Structure 1
Amino acid sequence: MFKYFSALDGRPKKLGIAVAAVLIASLMISACDEAENSDDFLTRAQEYRDKGDLQASIIEAKNALRINRDNQDARFILGSNYLDLGDWLSAETTLETAIGQGGTLEYAIIPLLARAKLSVGKLHDVLKIAGVRSDMSDDLRARIMVVRGRAHSGLKNHTEANKSFNDALAADPKAFGAFLGLAGLSIASDDRAKGKELLDKAIAIAPENIDVLEFQARFHFLKKDFAETEKFYRALIAQRPTRVAFHAGLINALISSKNYKGAISNLKPLLARSPKNIQLNYLRALAAFRSGDFITAYNTSSTVLGVYKRHTQSMLIAGASAFAKKEYEQAAQYLQQYVQANPSHNEAKMLLSEVQLRQNRVSEATKTLESAAKDQPDNVNLLLAIGRASNMAGDLQKSGDYFQKAVKLNPENTRARAALGASQIALGQTDLGIEELKRAVEKDTDLARAEIALILNLAGQKRYDEALEAVERLQERHPERALGYTVEGLLQFSKGDPASAKVAFRRALQLKPDAADAAANLAAVAIVSKKPEEAKEVLLAVLKHRPKHTRLLMMFAEVQLQLNDSDGAIRTFEKMLEANPEDLRPRQILAQLLLSTGRVEKAYLLAKSAPLIHQNNPGILEILGQAQTRLGKFKDANETLKALATVKPKSVHARFLLAGSYGALADWSSAEREFEAAWSIDQKHMPSKMGLADVLLRQNKLKKASEIISDLSAEATDSPQVRVMQGRLALLQGKPEEAIKPLSEAHKVIGSPTLTSLLAMAQMRAKGRGTGLETLRNWLKKNPNDVRIRFQLANNHMLFSQFEEASKEFLTLHEMQPENWIFLNNLADSLNRMDKFEQALPFAKKAYKLAPTQPAVLDTYGVILLADGDNKRAAKILTAARRRAPNSPEISFNAARALERVGNIDAARSILEEILPKNNSFRSRKAAEKLLKKLGG
């Protein structure tokens, strides 16, 4: 028999003993806990808190809660500890649970919970929970009004904030917190004198109060008196060493005074104790960013956002750090979130617009800048940025208008003049533009960018003599700098003189051997001149000085690829990753290179091991999904490509890949949905349309498939792939004669096993088996090792009862794959059909050894044993086959034959009486009827 099944063997695990052991252990622990009651732990928690040992207090409070989950006092202490440690999220969660219990501590909890919510920026929540009630004491009412005032202040509701603080003073004239709040409002409105006056009132009431001292520290910070700020915070830390906010204030002062090492040194022990603390991680990110360590800044700010997604300051650092690392997609994501939360922060909008420009999202960048300009219409930097964006969008007139306005607002701004000059040149006002650039250079001889713009624009006008004069002036002003010679090289190259360009670039490298721009351009000239070896030498020389320079290494790897040195290019990319594991671009290119050179497992591991911050990067997801597909990890590939389609929902390529992954899982309806989604995005995307036609055919949706294939035929008249679709459609419509022509035409262009199989099938159905078998044989003459086609040929011989030919093909397949039980089984079956059971027996026996549970193998082996006269063993084997395939009438009949041979007449008759009424047509039905009659049935 030549049908087969796959089976999975699962073994139940015995877990009873392990579960019992855990239950016993838990009972023992519970018994131990009851030795001390909740009050004992609570007493120690308060004692530790009074001593300032907040971590120990937390442990004891948790122990109290473990015994009594409803202990409100324990939650109150626990929440207070979290608040003092700066773990605001834990404080908020704990105190919310505590206040939900009602009880006598409710009023004491409200100010603390409000403070926790203030710290995480939930200002509206503060106004909901912190309400004044008639039965509150004057002191409590004042404290509640103070936190309400702080919430209003944070929401920029200064009138309401002012009212709340004054209401607090009305309730309690000594409410120093209200004076601090009013002082903050005055400072925010630029009235520092009034702020100082109100602060002094708070100092007079409570000179030693922690909050008053902290406000003084902040006031000194605002005045940029960082030494005094540091002094106040060190004094506060001496009083309350566990109060994280005081440590944070000190560290912020150190960062602001550019003492980054001191800030990081102070942060290390704090982060070791509280690795997920939002405030501390934010400050670590800030210190890293200010000191130029953008990788740490990005990673640490991402850690903060992983804990608390709405921490806007970390959004800004993450976005700015990603921009510095040239990871523009991540930068745009974080900066957009920040700008949405802080719509009046124009500096952030300018940075976001720069990211958008780098992503070529010019219209979005222009809108971002114009929204900023509404608040600051006379901001020259904003006007210059809008002009630049408009220029990139191709709106030269608009660009020029903005530059002109910037120059009018600030005539001495040389950057504005340089930009205006460049725009005038672009608008065709060449002479005006060049004169404007000259004026900019005259006013600022260090304005190298304007000089370069002048030189390049003169070159663009083919005014090479003037351009060279400008270059000479630049070189005279800065004889020690490589810049002038690099620009000369660019100018000479634009003149069409690569030899002089090379001389200039080499002069630049003599002055500065590590001049990356000069080296890159010199290498580029060599590449254009089709001298990659020369480019390689240039880059190797400069890389000795700058071994970790990303752009040079990238260029060097590209040269190696031009020299067909893919192994060398891979090593170069690996060096880049080793130097900077967070750098996305070399990881992405290397993974793609590994994939294209057949090193799929390595590509998979590289993409899979991408840092967390890159794991949703579209390029990484695409490579990972393709690698998983090629490794046969179809479910994993599908999950990966679903993530890609989520990140890029409007990408036709992402949708196309996702559809293909559903196809690999044979989930045709989902594949159809995704191919349709891809096609709806871009109706000119032929692969999506082809994929859609394919899955429609697989689902036998012939009407819809016919419409799509008709469109494809009109759009791609000569496409062999479309011809294949036409042939498949005709076959499914029961028109094999119409399938032959398109399949034959396609087969001439893209001969493949699949197409050969289809063509042979069509020919057999339309013209008889001879033509189809000949097609298969002709393919095998050219491709003798094609297992799939040889297997199809052998099976067709079996179907046509050509057992001699079938046995020859199965024997060849067996020789190609000696351990393949399917080939062994079918070889034995074909030999047995010719009554060559003695030759068949060894093959059947080996198939049985390799696949002892497969019904087809058991059936073949049992039938041959029966023919060999081993009736007892045959009966045992065939009865087992029937148990595994009870719905096969052929196997059941063979089992009945064997049982009859060993004298088990009743069992044989029972089987035959069962299968004959259920199966009107099977190969051995007549023989089964005859046997039943013989057995008296």
Structure 2
Amino acid sequence: MQSTIGSRAFQNARLQKKNRKQADGLLPKAVEAYRAGRHADAQAVCGQVLALVPDHFEALHLLGASALDSGRLDLAEQALARAVALEPRHAEAQANLGLVLFSMKRYEEARAAQERAIALKPNFAAALTSLGNTLMNMQLFAPAIEMHDRAVALKPDFADAYCNRGMAQLLLHRNEEARQSFDRALALAPRHMQATFGKGLVSVNLRHLEQALAAFNAALAIKPGMAAVIAQRGRLYVQMGRFDQAEADFDAALAIDRGLETAWLGKAHVCVLTERIAPAMLACKRVLEQNPASEVALVWLGACLAKQGDTAGAIRHFDRALEIKPDFEDAILKKIFALDFYPGADVAVHQAVRREWWERIGARIPQRQLGPIDRDPNRRITVG
């Protein structure tokens, strides 16, 4: 009996050793396919390796990285979760798991994985800037910029980190700093699509519309078919009053990414402006189906109801938007306008909503300081 058990253990050990040797021989083929961008081949070979050795860390890590690059996020999460369970102190695997969770918009989990990667490898510049992106999406802009700063301090030629920092600065309306970050990224990588796109966004903020259009077109020349860039160009066309081109861009972006919220909101906007209420309402509802907390969709849907004469319904939508974002100026302004047509609103109601605008918006507007007045009666008077 004892001899049989010993023999079986010996045979299992021999088989495992044989499988490990065969698996290690296959792995370079997977690496070669991955580096060549042949993700289907890389993933197939990793599958063969894992059939031989289910806990093969390198195969799991490579499978996760390849699945991430090819957009197979569920597979990527499964493979990388198994990889970090096997090797919890592997910083690169933790960082890649963070990227997967970030792509799935699970930002708290992504942050935890990225922080683990940095704790294991404090000089990990790629993980630092990835954490910065995660923090930015969590509305933690100052800590996000700090992470990007740490990344560029460690790696001064890291174009992606400069670009990522520019995006965070942009959201803080630090336009000149954002422009400098994008320029630095482009000095290091002249065909950096995201930095080119970022410069377009800076130009939009500064109302340099023709410069913004040139930047968006340049970004699309570098990487055609980027739905997010096409949708932003559509929004720019709306500002320029070129509604046909705007709607064409929104439709093109939605043909690429049917769930792109920016494109649906742009579609709603341009339809409201061109008095096509039914498609505008449909676009708003598509946004709210996937994001019930979209204050912009609620406001545009309210604007549609107002145009249909449903003032009470419009005001309800504006109020819902203000519950989500109390300082949303567009919602307050549209509510003020709608109340002018609401029979149930008396002077007290009108004054209350105007006071609301002042407390949430007006009182926070920086006041301009007037220059000193020259009281010399013999001075030259300049008119205009």
TM-score by length of 1: 0.30
Contact 2:321 2:331 in 1 (8 A): no
After the TM superposition, which residues 68-147 of structure 1 pair with which residues of structure 2 at under 5 Å, given as runs?
none
Aligned residue number for residue 81 of structure 2? 639
Tell me, in whole angstroms, the C-alpha distance in 1 between the residues paired with 2:207 and 2:185. 15
Q: CA deviation at 1:588?
A: 4.9
Contact 1:730 1:739 in 2 (8 A): yes
Counterpart amino acid of residue 631 in structure 1: R
- Aligned pair partner of 2:344 in 904, 913, 916: 904
Aligned residue number for residue 20 of structure 2? 327
Q: CA deviation at 1:626?
A: 2.4
Tell me, in whole angstroms, the C-alpha distance in 2 between the residues paired with 1:768 and 1:848. 29
Counterpart amino acid of residue 645 in structure 1: E
Tell me, in whole angstroms, the C-alpha distance in 2 between the residues paired with 1:616 and 1:823. 43
Counterpart amino acid of residue 823 in structure 1: A
Distance 1:817 1:588, change over 3 A: same
- Aligned pair partner of 2:267 in 817, 827, 830: 827
Q: CA deviation at 1:775?
A: 1.5
Aligned residue number for residue 234 of structure 2? 794
Aligned residue number for residue 599 of structure 1? 40
Counterpart amino acid of residue 286 in structure 2: L
Q: CA deviation at 1:781?
A: 5.4
Aligned residue number for residue 161 of structure 2? 725
Paired residue secondary structure (1:860): helix
Tell me, in whole angstroms, the C-alpha distance in 2 between the residues paired with 1:327 and 1:897. 73
Aligned residue number for residue 114 of structure 2? 671
Provide the identity percentage: 11
Counterpart amino acid of residue 212 in structure 2: G
Is 1:626 aligned to residue 45 of structure 2? no
Rg: which structure is higher?
Answer: 1
After the TM superposition, which residues 547-586 of structure 1 pair with which residues of structure 2 at under 5 Å, given as runs?
584-585=23-24
Write out per-residue CA displacement over residues 174-225 of structure 1, whole angstroms, 9 at most, x where no aligned residue.
xxxxxxxxxxxxxxxxxxxxxxxxxxxxxxxxxxxxxxxxxxxxxxxxxxxx
Is 1:866 aligned to residue 302 of structure 2? no
After the TM superposition, which residues 481-496 of structure 1 pair with which residues of structure 2 at under 5 Å, given as runs?
none
Aligned residue number for residue 248 of structure 2? 811
Tell me, in whole angstroms, the C-alpha distance in 2 between the residues paired with 1:880 and 1:705. 38
Q: CA deviation at 1:841?
A: 1.9
Counterpart amino acid of residue 199 in structure 2: L
Distance 1:766 1:677, change over 3 A: farther
After the TM superposition, which residues 260-339 of structure 1 pair with which residues of structure 2 at under 5 Å, given as runs?
283=5, 286-287=7-8, 289=10, 294=11, 298=12, 318=13, 321-323=15-17, 325=18, 327=20
Counterpart amino acid of residue 131 in structure 2: V
After the TM superposition, which residues 529-544 of structure 1 pair with which residues of structure 2 at under 5 Å, given as runs?
none
Tell me, in whole angstroms, the C-alpha distance in 2 between the residues paired with 1:600 and 1:806. 45
Contact 1:893 1:911 in 2 (8 A): no
Write out per-residue CA displacement over residues 363-408 of structure 1, whole angstroms, 9 at most, x where no aligned residue.
xxxxxxxxxxxxxxxxxxxxxxxxxxxxxxxxxxxxxxxxxxxxxx
Write out per-residue CA displacement over residues 84-118 of structure 1, whole angstroms, 9 at most, x where no aligned residue.
xxxxxxxxxxxxxxxxxxxxxxxxxxxxxxxxxxx
After the TM superposition, which residues 440-519 of structure 1 pair with which residues of structure 2 at under 5 Å, given as runs?
none
Distance 1:829 1:807, change over 3 A: farther
Q: CA deviation at 1:642?
A: 1.8
Tell me, in whole angstroms, the C-alpha distance in 1 between the residues paired with 2:360 and 2:184. 39
Tell me, in whole angstroms, the C-alpha distance in 1 between the residues paired with 2:204 and 2:286. 34
Distance 1:881 1:783, change over 3 A: same
Tell me, in whole angstroms, the C-alpha distance in 2 between the residues paired with 1:880 and 1:771. 36
Aligned residue number for residue 616 of structure 1? 55
Counterpart amino acid of residue 247 in structure 2: F
- Aligned pair partner of 1:844 in 275, 280, 284: 280
- Aligned pair partner of 1:774 in 204, 210, 214: 214
Write out per-residue CA displacement over residues 270-309 of structure 1, whole angstroms, 9 at most, x where no aligned residue.
xxxxxxxxxxxxx2x62574xxxx3xxx2xxxxxxxxxxx
Tell me, in whole angstroms, the C-alpha distance in 1 between the residues paired with 2:224 and 2:23. 45
Counterpart amino acid of residue 619 in structure 1: E
Q: CA deviation at 1:622?
A: 1.2
- Over the aligned positions, Cα root-mean-square deviation in angstroms equals 4.5
Counterpart amino acid of residue 361 in structure 2: N
Q: CA deviation at 1:792?
A: 2.1
Q: CA deviation at 1:694?
A: 5.0
Paired residue secondary structure (1:692): helix
Distance 1:891 1:636, change over 3 A: farther
Tell me, in whole angstroms, the C-alpha distance in 2 between the residues paired with 1:620 and 1:747. 32
Write out per-residue CA displacement over residues 113-149 of structure 1, whole angstroms, 9 at most, x where no aligned residue.
xxxxxxxxxxxxxxxxxxxxxxxxxxxxxxxxxxxxx
Contact 1:737 1:766 in 2 (8 A): no
Write out per-residue CA displacement over residues 737-778 of structure 1, whole angstroms, 9 at most, x where no aligned residue.
533542332442x332x1222233455678945433321133
Tell me, in whole angstroms, the C-alpha distance in 2 between the residues paired with 1:696 and 1:781. 28
Tell me, in whole angstroms, the C-alpha distance in 2 between the residues paired with 1:327 and 1:674. 28
Tell me, in whole angstroms, the C-alpha distance in 2 between the residues paired with 1:622 and 1:878. 52
Structure 1: 4+ residue segments shifted above 6 A: none
Counterpart amino acid of residue 920 in structure 1: I
Tell me, in whole angstroms, the C-alpha distance in 2 between the residues paired with 1:601 and 1:885. 49
After the TM superposition, which residues 399-438 of structure 1 pair with which residues of structure 2 at under 5 Å, given as runs?
none
Paired residue secondary structure (2:180): helix
Is 1:743 aligned to residue 185 of structure 2? yes
Distance 1:671 1:831, change over 3 A: same
Higher relative contact order by CA 8 Å / sep ≥ 6: 1 or 2?
Answer: 2
Contact 2:200 2:211 in 1 (8 A): yes
Paired residue secondary structure (1:901): coil
Distance 1:849 1:604, change over 3 A: farther
Tell me, in whole angstroms, the C-alpha distance in 2 between the residues paired with 1:848 and 1:708. 39
Tell me, in whole angstroms, the C-alpha distance in 2 between the residues paired with 1:586 and 1:805. 59
Tell me, in whole angstroms, the C-alpha distance in 2 between the residues paired with 1:661 and 1:822. 22
Q: CA deviation at 1:844?
A: 0.7
Aligned residue number for residue 916 of structure 1? 357
Tell me, in whole angstroms, the C-alpha distance in 2 between the residues paired with 1:912 and 1:767. 30
Q: CA deviation at 1:674?
A: 0.9
Counterpart amino acid of residue 128 in structure 2: L
Aligned residue number for residue 128 of structure 2? 692
TM-score by length of 2: 0.65
Which ranges in structure 2 are unaligned for 5 or more consecutive residues? 136-141, 364-384
Q: CA deviation at 1:779?
A: 3.3
Counterpart amino acid of residue 232 in structure 2: Q
Aligned residue number for residue 377 of structure 2? none
Distance 1:769 1:911, change over 3 A: same
Contact 1:662 1:671 in 2 (8 A): no
Distance 1:843 1:781, change over 3 A: farther
Tell me, in whole angstroms, the C-alpha distance in 1 between the residues paired with 2:77 and 2:305. 43
Counterpart amino acid of residue 322 in structure 1: Q
Q: CA deviation at 1:919?
A: 1.5
Write out per-residue CA displacement over residues 308-354 of structure 1, whole angstroms, 9 at most, x where no aligned residue.
xxxxxxxxxx4x5533x2637xxxxxxxxxxxxxxxxxxxxxxxxxx
Contact 2:111 2:131 in 1 (8 A): yes
Distance 1:727 1:652, change over 3 A: closer
Paired residue secondary structure (1:905): coil
Contact 2:228 2:253 in 1 (8 A): no
Contact 1:747 1:755 in 2 (8 A): no
Aligned residue number for residue 757 of structure 1? 197
Q: CA deviation at 1:599?
A: 2.3
Tell me, in whole angstroms, the C-alpha distance in 1 between the residues paired with 2:288 and 2:98. 38
Paired residue secondary structure (1:785): coil
Q: CA deviation at 1:889?
A: 5.2
Tell me, in whole angstroms, the C-alpha distance in 2 between the residues paired with 1:841 and 1:827. 11
